[in-house]
Chains A and B, each alone.
Chain A
Amino acid sequence: MKFNLNCKETSRLLSQAQDGGLAFTERLALRIHLRLCDGCTQFSQQLDFLRRAMRAYPGPDSNAEKDNTRG
């Protein structure tokens, strides 16, 4: 395991981290890279957003109000 990751490797590991697939040394190497790299920090936030969006899919319920006032 090498500690000087480039952004390409970091992007792979950041995705893998979302699926619980990182070893301790990989997590450490990630932390070191993220501290120094704005691009990957931004990418990491995009992945977090994507996860939130998928959990929220299919999104705001336009029928919710209608449902609650019916009956």
Chain B
Amino acid sequence: MRNNISAPLELDTHRPQLLRFAMLQLRDESAAEDAVQETLVAALQGAASFSGQSSVRTWLIGILKHKIIDHLRRSSREKPLAPAPDETDTADFDSLFATDGHWAEQPAGWGNPDQTLQQSRFFEALERCLRDLPKSTARAFMMREVMGLESGEICKELQISTSNYWVMLYRARMSLRLCLEQNWFQGDASSRSQT
């Protein structure tokens, strides 16, 4: 039989990747372990529902996303998110702009997006940059961009104001942009692979 995933061992080979994924958002090792464990159990129980149209990993990550959202909901009820003061302030990006508010340095082109998104090394760089984001910022940003939740829902879940939410997502995007610029685009990793 193709795609026979009833063997726990096979599912287990995905555990490290799933853990990294969960850690980025939960930032708590035991919560991440729990979410991954729940995912693998759910996968085992629902193995029959695996269509084989996507890869096993894609299927597992789909389940994991739901488990992570469950965890975030539970933990934000127990302990509401408290963004650090500098997570809701944009002053540290001031140096990117001249005093008249124009770019101090013009943003650069980032080459061919399709090519970049085919490279697993790019995603390793992205993952490192995500890990550098402060906890609350990363949580709000990933709920929006990885989980695809609506802004209103995220503010409600995390109990943050809309204006703080916008600042946090702005901060996340500005930081990631600078980090990728330094660790991927400027490092020439992308242009090397194109030649």
Q: Report whether A39 and B103 are in contact in the complex, using a CB–CB cutoff of 8 Å.
A: yes
Q: Report whether A71 and B4 are in contact in the complex, using a CB–CB cutoff of 8 Å.
A: yes
Spot the interface stretch: B40-48, B69-77, B106-114: B106-114
* Residue in B13, B14, B113 whose CB lies within 8 Å of A49: B113
Query: Does A18 sit within 8 A of B, measured CB to CB?
Result: yes
A55 to chain B: closest residue by CB = B145
Q: Contacts A8-B101, A42-B109, A68-B2: A54 and B151 contacting too (C-beta < 8 A)?
A: no
* Residue in A54, A59, A70 whose CB lies within 8 Å of B120: A59
Provide the residues of chain B in CB contact with A20, threshold 8 Å.
150-151
Query: Does B119 sit within 8 A of A, measured CB to CB?
Result: yes
Q: Report whether A67 and B117 are in contact in the complex, using a CB–CB cutoff of 8 Å.
A: no
Q: Report whether B1 and A71 are in contact in the complex, using a CB–CB cutoff of 8 Å.
A: yes
A8: min CB distance to chain B, Å: 4
| A50 CA / B100 CA spacing, docked (Å) | 27
Give the dominant DSSP class at B's interface.
helix
Residues of B in contact (CB 8 Å), total 53
Q: Report whether B120 and A60 are in contact in the complex, using a CB–CB cutoff of 8 Å.
A: yes
* Residue in A11, A46, A54 whose CB lies within 8 Å of B145: A54
| A2 CA / B118 CA spacing, docked (Å) | 41
Query: Does B128 sit within 8 A of A, measured CB to CB?
Result: no
Q: Report whether B169 and A68 are in contact in the complex, using a CB–CB cutoff of 8 Å.
A: no
Provide the residues of chain B in CB contact with A67, threshold 8 Å.
3, 55-57
Q: Report whether A50 and B57 are in contact in the complex, using a CB–CB cutoff of 8 Å.
A: no
Interface residues of B (CB under 8 A from A): 1-4, 10, 13-14, 17, 20-21, 55-58, 61, 90, 97, 100-103, 106-110, 113, 116-120, 122-123, 126-127, 142, 144-146, 148, 150-151, 162, 165-166, 169-170, 173-174, 176-177, 180
Interface residues of A (CB under 8 A from B): 6-9, 11-12, 15-16, 18-21, 38-40, 42-43, 45-47, 49-64, 67-68, 70-71
Q: List 19 additional contacts besides A55-B145, A59-B117; criterion CB under 8 Å.
A: A6-B101, A7-B103, A15-B166, A15-B170, A16-B170, A18-B169, A42-B109, A43-B177, A50-B145, A50-B173, A54-B146, A55-B146, A57-B123, A57-B126, A57-B146, A58-B21, A67-B3, A67-B56, A70-B3
